[in-house]
């Protein structure tokens, strides 16, 4: 099903019969490998995953961290590091250039360490042992919503270990269904689904989610989205670190249609000297090599977003704002190499002034102040000028 046409003003926000689509999702899955090559890759992957098990968590994580930094430092990644450094400067302009570059390299370290953690999680996060590895932060409002009788949508980003949050909720008895793009290699895809299902975490195929997701919400089974990706030209453009960012409409439309509660949170790795300059660069300071804290960053329901002039815009902007807090809580554990601001709103692509309806939407957000509004408009004007000067439709 094609996504709705994007404009700089949101679609009518209160209609419950608005069609639900998955932004920019193809209508059917890609062809996936189920032949000898797929099984060969599956066998190689399972063999490779034995290496960190043999090394043990501390040695495996230290090795992965070093490998991630070395990979990020390669000449082939120079442009990615530059892009990540620029993104960090947009999000945290108070940081100097060396600190921004250090955080960009830490992002590659984090990605490699994340792979090792995922290899260990099905084994260590069991019903008997998970409390040794997971600390639950201030989660009372989230658990109240998850254990209540209303639909719930969970939102996190590519910050920290997003799988730690899903595993934790599953171990607490909350049946969560995470939106998931099937892997191209069928044997690997089956293994991933099987290992998560054993711990109570369901994976919802994104290619069938248009039909299945509403059914899950009607059954009061929570849905989970990793929702910080760029949503393309058809997304809804809301602020993210002072810059308009394409964000998925489908989450807000699902929530409004089913009057769902929105819960935002993330799982953060702890014990590995999270911030540059503390206790020696990247030095392991914990006694338990696999430890995470699950944090809640926001929870809100229909009583709040339905009272706004534009519920869809408010809901989307609010969960983006929660994602900002997620990133700032552990900036070294965010995937800064993503092209977060690549897609641009229509007025920028057409070289037109900032539209009054969009300004009104921003002004309607309860947390918006004059300084932040002017920063967003000024950045949009500069992005528009850059696109026009370079004859581009997207940021590089």
Q: How confident is the model at residue 18, as a pLDDT?
A: 39
Give CA–CA dist 258/219, Å, rounded. Answer: 11
Degrees to nearest 5, angle at CA 83 with 391 and 266: 120
Main-chain dihedrals φ then ψ at residue 137, nearest 5 degrees:
-75, -150
Counted residue by residue, the chain has a size of: 396
CA distance 145 to 362: 28
- Tens of pLDDT, residue by residue over 295-304, are 899 999 999 9
In this predicted structure, what is the pLDDT of residue 310?
97
What percentage of the chain carries pLDDT values higher than 70?
Answer: 86
Backbone φ and ψ of 6, nearest 5°: -90, 135
- Alpha carbon 215 to its chain centroid, in Å, reads 23
Distance of CA 27 to the CA centre of its chain: 22
- How far apart are the C-alpha atoms of 337 and 11, rounded to whole Å? 31
Quick: pLDDT tens for 230-270. Answer: 999 999 999 999 999 999 999 999 999 999 999 999 999 98
Low-confidence ranges of the chain (pLDDT < 70): 1-34, 42, 198-199, 273-288
**Would you state the pLDDT for residue 46?**
74
Give the pLDDT confidence score for residue 169 in this predicted structure: 85
User: Under the phi-then-psi rule, with left for phi > 0, alpha for psi from -120 to 50, and beta for the rest, what region is 59?
Assistant: alpha
Residue that is written with structure tokens 């670190």 in the block: 241
State the pLDDT at residue 387: 97
For 139-159, b where at least 16 C-beta lie within 10 A, e where not — what string? beebbebbeeeebbbbbbbbb
Specify the pTM.
Answer: 0.85
- Can you give the pLDDT at residue 90? 95
């Amino acid at each position: 099903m094609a996504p709705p046409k994007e404009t700089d003003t949101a679609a009518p926000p209160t209609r419950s019969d608005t069609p639900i689509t998955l932004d920019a999702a193809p209508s059917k899955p890609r062809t996936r490998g189920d032949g000898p090559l797929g099984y060969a890759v599956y066998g190689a992957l399972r063999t490779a995953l034995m290496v960190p098990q043999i090394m043990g968590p501390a040695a495996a994580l230290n090795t992965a961290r070093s490998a991630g930094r070395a990979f990020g430092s390669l000449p082939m990644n120079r442009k990615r590091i530059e892009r990540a450094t620029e993104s960090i400067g947009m999000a945290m302009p108070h940081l100097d250039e060396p600190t921004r570059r250090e955080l960009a390299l830490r992002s590659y370290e984090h990605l490699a360490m994340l792979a090792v953690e995922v290899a260990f999680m099905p084994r260590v996060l069991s019903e008997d042992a998970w409390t040794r590895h997971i600390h639950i932060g201030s989660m009372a409002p989230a658990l109240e919503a998850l254990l209540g009788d209303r639909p719930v949508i969970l939102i996190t980003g590519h910050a920290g270990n997003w799988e730690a949050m899903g595993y934790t909720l599953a171990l607490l008895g909350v049946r969560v269904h995470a939106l998931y793009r099937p892997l191209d290699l069928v044997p690997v895809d089956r293994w991933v689904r099987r290992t998560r299902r054993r711990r109570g975490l369901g994976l919802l195929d994104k290619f069938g989610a248009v039909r299945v997701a509403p059914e899950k919400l009607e059954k009061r089974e929570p849905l989970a989205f990793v929702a910080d990706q760029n949503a393309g030209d058809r997304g809804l453009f809301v602020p993210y670190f002072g810059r308009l960012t394409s964000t998925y409409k489908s989450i807000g439309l699902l929530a409004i249609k089913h009057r769902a509660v929105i819960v935002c949170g993330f799982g953060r790795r702890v014990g590995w000297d999270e911030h540059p300059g503390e206790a020696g660069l990247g030095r392991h300071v914990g006694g338990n090599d696999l430890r995470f804290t699950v944090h809640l960053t926001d929870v809100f329901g229909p009583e709040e977003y339905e009272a706004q002039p534009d519920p869809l815009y408010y809901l989307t902007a609010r969960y983006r704002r929660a994602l900002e807090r997620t990133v700032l809580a552990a900036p070294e554990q965010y995937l800064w190499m993503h092209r977060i601001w690549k897609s641009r709103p229509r007025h920028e692509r057409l070289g037109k002034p900032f539209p009054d309806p969009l300004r009104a939407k921003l002004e309607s957000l309860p947390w918006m102040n004059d300084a932040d509004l002017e920063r967003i408009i000024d950045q949009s004007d500069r992005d528009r000028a850059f696109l026009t000067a370079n004859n581009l439709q997207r940021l590089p």
